[in-house]
Structure formats: C-alpha cells, structure tokens
Amino acid sequence: MIDIAFVKPALPRHGALVLPLAEEAPLSGLAQALDTAAAGGVTRGLEAAGFRGRKGQSCTLWAPVGEHGPARVVAIGLGKPGEWTTEAIEAAGGAALSLIQAEREAVVAAEGLGAGFAASFALGLVLRGYRFDRYRTTEKEEDKPKLEKVALAADAATAARAAWGPMRAVAEGVFLSRDLVSEPPNVLTPAVFAERCKPLEKLGLGVEILGPKEMRKLGFGALLGVAQGSENEPRMVVMQWHGAAARGKKAASPPVAFLGKGVTFDTGGISLKPAAGMEDMKWDMAGAGTVVGLMAALAGRKARVDAIGIVGLVENMPGSNAQRPGDVVTTASGQTVEVINTDAEGRLVLADVMHYCQERFAPRCMVDLATLTGAIIIALGHEHAGMFCNNDELAQQLAAAGREVAEPVWRMPLGDAYDKQLKSDIADMKNVGGRPGGSITAAQFLQRFVQKRDPATPWAHLDIAGTAWSSKDLPTIPKGATAFGVRLLDRLVADHYEG
C-alpha cells in the first residue's frame, strides 16, 4: 500500500506535485509558490490546456520550474466547492493516482481541502493504487508503477492524520479482500483460504477453522453435499472481534454477524456450467473475501463493536463422488433439500452457515454476502448489489451506508408467493425455483434458514454477483476485484452499531 503522510506545505524538488483545484478558483498556497517559482508558468500552462478545475478534468504539466522543481505537476479538477462530496473527492484522488504512478514520490497540495476531504483524497488515491502482480514475472521495470510515498500538504495536518487512521485500516481490509478474490483457484483452495485468515489473529481477532470432521458432527449436510465432488476439502472459518468492551460496557448486547459464500471455484458441479467465461467463477468466493476484509478493517480500526464473521469455503466440482441432481440432503437446521440443480450451490453452503451462526451466537443482526445468482446481474447490472431484507430498519441502514461509500444496494422484494416456487415433491424444499425471479427465490431459500426467535433475527442478504468484480477501471477501483461490501458494512457498523 502506498505510504501516506500529512505534512506542512513545502515545494517538492522531484517526483510529482498534485494540485487538486476548485472550479475557476485562483491557485492557493503551494500551488501559488510553485507558480511563482515557475514565473507564472503554471497558471499559463493550465490556461493554455483549457483546464478550469471542472469535476473530472485533469492536466499534466511537465517540469514547469525546470530542474529545481517537480518532474510533473498534475492538476485535478474538483468542481465547485459547494458541491463537493466524499465520493467526488475520493474519485479525484483516484484520478490523481493514475497520472502519477510512474513517479516514486508525490506531494499533494491539499491545503484547500480541509482535514476530512484531504483524508478522503488520500483514500481514493490509495484504493486506486491497488495492484495484484504476484504472478507477473516478465513485466519491464519501466512499465511498473513506482509510487511509494505520497505526502499531503494540509493546513490541519493533525486532524487529517486522525481522520486517515481508520480509513487506512479500512483500505487494508479492502486490499486483503481484493487479494483473496484475485488469487487463482488452483492456489486458493478452501484450506488455503482458511490459512490466509489465520494471520488476522495478530490484529486481535479470534480465528477458528473447522474441517469436514467437525462439519459432519454439526450436521452440515448441505455444505458437505456441495463439497463432496472435490478433492479439496471444505472449511469454515469463524472470526470474532470483541471491541465493544473497550467502550466500557461489558459486551452486553449480542454481536453483529457477517456471513460469506466462499465457493473457491464453481464449475456448477454435475449441472456443469458452459466453458465460456467459466474462469470468472474463481471469484465465487467474493462474499467470503468481503467478510474477511471487513473483519480485518473492524479490528484494524479497533471498532467499538462485537462482530462475528463466518465464511463457508467449498469447491464445487463434478468429481466421481459429486452430488447428483435429485439428491436429498439434510441441512444443519434439520430441514431437507432436494438438490435439483447442483449449480445452485451457494445457498446450500449458506444455509448451514446461517444456522450455525444463529445457534451459536444469537446475533443481533446478520448480513450475508454472496455471488449468488446470475439473475441479479440481469436485474441490476453492475451498478447496485441486490439487497433482500426481513427488517425495514436494517434495510434502510444498509441503503444509506451504501450511498455514503458509493457501494449502492437496491432493495428487492421477498414474499410467500415467491417462496412457493421452492416446493418439492419429496423434501421440505428444492434448491431452485425456476427462472422467474431467480434472485428472489434464491433469497427465499436463504430466508428459510433465518430463525424465528420472536421476532425473527434481523437479516439481510446482499447478492453481489454483479458488483464483486469490475471489467473496467473505476475511479477508486482498478479493473478486477472490487471488495464491494467491505466499506459498506464497515460504514454500517460505524453509523449504527458502535458506541
């Protein structure tokens, strides 16, 4: 991760100088000093380039001061100050990153931004700087990004530093999540994924790993049914963060719980998927990747909350012992499922994990994340995750948190009429409900594993099949794994479940 520091304004003598500039505003502070050194060349250069500071505009000037100044000056338009939003400032930071990556060091003239926006600019910049390059061995030195250190010259450096602390922890969580999701499926088997959770203990998290033996004892017939077609054994990881006691109260209220679908590769099983695009199914563990990243973020910023993260890890393969369409499995809850389509495996994994979570922790609310259905991409594209929720308050909290961090969710309906589509002739339910409302019937299936506990456990399901991966660069997300949900759920906790 790029190193961020908040410093007193001073002109850099090499690397990049970034000027975040408001629309039609005169240069201020550092920028003016630079312009003076360049004898008005910066103002002139920006004018000549037609740069007005409009949102989305950018302009690079090369060595405007000659040999005693920065190698490049990058102006980033912020638009009118009255219209600044966190999202826009983060995007500006992201845009800056893509223009300065070839330099080793950069200074950002962030004096005009105020502490909060200066930190947001840093966050956007850092998030856009993510790269997964473990498996590149032949890339030329000159093509590699070099940026290591960015100093933000801010008026309120102390306040900006304080704002940055927790943001940095969240960025670490986002990176961990992106790393897990980007890993190829031959490397990241369920066992390896689980091992990658172990180091989180250093952050103060409790990490337990359960294997097939333990899961058999717990009666995880649904999860184990999916796993049985693969040589690679399943795992479940239970992560616990106890941060509420820090606020003085003795862990009085039950924890919040986050659950993730972790199918490290989804071939579809015996209901085999077509070849085209099947490689995308390496990120069918993105729900689990998000939960792990989220737990790292919460622990990293010492969130004042008790939180549980549980991931169900399996590989869905068509091995000789694979489950068949027509099999009936008994879930940990005791309910039986007729497996009509072995490709509807995520809900089978989550059914057992959800039941386990409620039995053991009786959480105050439970949010699951899963790349559950292709149908959610048809419904919402890549712009919103689908949200299904049995509780209006939780739904509103999630929708608001999503808007704040630009990870938007769109609420979808639940209802008895949809639930009827799951009726089986020989078991309590079947695992698919037909094509109409495919994402909804998947959610109905999950809801059958929400305990009624009078009232029912407040529960939300986020179908992130359309948002877990991006096929193009976005303002603060390079093409690839997005870590969608880490920032959203971190914000949910910060806004409603802490202090």
Q: Which of the residues 359 through 418 are near ligand BES (CB under 6 A)?
A: 371-375
- The number of residues in the chain equals 499
List the x/- string, 422-451, binding to ligand BES by CB under 6 A: ----------x-----x-------------
CB nearer ligand BES, residue 2 or residue 440: 440
Phi and psi at 379, nearest 5°, equal -75, -45
At a CB cut-off of 8 Å and minimum separation 6, what does 40 contact? Answer: none
Q: Could you give the C-alpha distances from 218 to 39, 307, 360, 466, in angstroms and in order?
A: 75, 22, 11, 32
Query: Which of 64, 255, 346, 433 touches Zn ion by CB under 5 A?
Result: 346
Q: Does 266 bind Mn ion (CB under 5 A)?
A: yes
465 binds, among Zn ion, Mn ion, ligand BES, none (CB under 5 to 8 A by kind): ligand BES
Q: Given the complex with ligand BES, which of 435 and 452 has the nearer CB atom?
A: 435
- Rank residues 9 and 346 by Cβ distance to Mn ion and give the closer one: 346
Least distance (Å) from ligand BES to the CB of residue 27? 47
Binding string, 314-343, against ligand BES, x = CB under 6 A? ---------------------------x-x
* Residue 89 near residue 22 (C-beta atoms within 8 A): no
Looking at the Cβ atoms of 58 and 342, the one nearer to Mn ion is: 342
- For residue 357, with 0-12 CB atoms within 10 Å meaning exposed, 13-18 middle and 19 or more buried, which class applies? buried
Map tokens 């990058």 to a residue: 74
Q: Rule CB under 5 A: is residue 315 a binding residue for Mn ion? A: no
User: Which CB atom, from 120 or from 371, has the smaller least distance to ligand BES?
Assistant: 371
Q: How far is the CB of 343 from ligand BES (least distance, A)?
A: 4
User: Among residues 90 and 345, whose Cβ is nearest to Zn ion?
Assistant: 345
36 binds, among Zn ion, Mn ion, ligand BES, none (CB under 5 to 8 A by kind): none
Q: Which does 111 bind (CB under 5 to 8 A by kind): Zn ion, Mn ion, ligand BES, none?
A: none
Q: Is 128 a catalytic residue?
A: no
Site string for Zn ion, 243-282 (x = CB under 5 A): --------------------x--x----------------
Binding flag, residue 284, Zn ion (CB under 5 A) = yes
Binding residues among 220-279 for ligand BES as defined by CB under 6 A: 266
From residue 88 to residue 127, the character string flagging contacts with Mn ion as x (rule: CB under 5 A) and all else as - is: ----------------------------------------
Min dist CB 266 to ligand BES, Å, is 5
Catalytic residue among 128, 282, 347, 430: 347
Calpha distance 433→412 (Å, rounded): 16
| Residue tagged active-site, from 44, 52, 131, 273 | 273
In angstroms, what is the minimal distance from the CB of 346 to Zn ion?
4
Which listed residue (103, 172, 183, 284) binds ligand BES by CB under 6 A? 284
Choice between 284 and 407, CB closer to ligand BES? 284
* Closer of 112 and 438 to ligand BES (Cβ): 438
What is the 3-class SS of the chain, one letter each residue?
CCEEEEECCCCCCCCEEEEEEECCCCCCCHHHHHHHHCCCHHHHHHHHCCCCCCCCCEEEEECCCCCCCCCEEEEEEEECHHHCCHHHHHHHHHHHHHHHCCCCEEEEECHHHHHHHHHHHHHHHHHHCCCCCCCCCCCCHHHCCCCCEEEEECCCHHHHHHHHHHHHHHHHHHHHHHHHHHCCCCCCCHHHHHHHHHHHHHHCCEEEEECHHHHHHCCCHHHHHHHCCCCCCCEEEEEEEECHHHHCCCCCCCCEEEEEEEEEEECCCCCCCCCCCHHHHHHCCHHHHHHHHHHHHHHHCCCCCEEEEEEEEEEECCCCCCCCCCCEEECCCCCEEECCCCCCCHHHHHHHHHHHHHHHHCCCEEEEEECCCCHHHHHHCCCCEEEEECCHHHHHHHHHHHHHCCCCEEECCCCHHHHHHHCCCCCCEECCCCCCCHHHHHHHHHHCCCCCCCCCCCEEEEECCCCCEECCCECCECCEECCCCHHHHHHHHHHHCCC
Q: Please select the residue that binds ligand BES; options are 88, 127, 322, 344, rule is CB under 6 A.
A: 344
- Is residue 250 part of the annotated active site? The answer reads no
> How many chain residues touch ligand BES (CB under 6 A)?
15
Q: Report the residue from 105, 233, 315, 343 that binds Mn ion according to the rule CB under 5 A.
A: 343
Query: Where along the sequence are the contacts to ligand BES (CB under 6 A)?
Result: 266, 284, 341, 343-346, 371-375, 432, 438, 465
Query: Where along the sequence are the contacts to Mn ion (CB under 5 A)?
Result: 266, 343, 345
Query: Where along the sequence are the contacts to Zn ion (CB under 5 A)?
Result: 263, 266, 284, 346
| Active-site amino acid positions | 273, 347
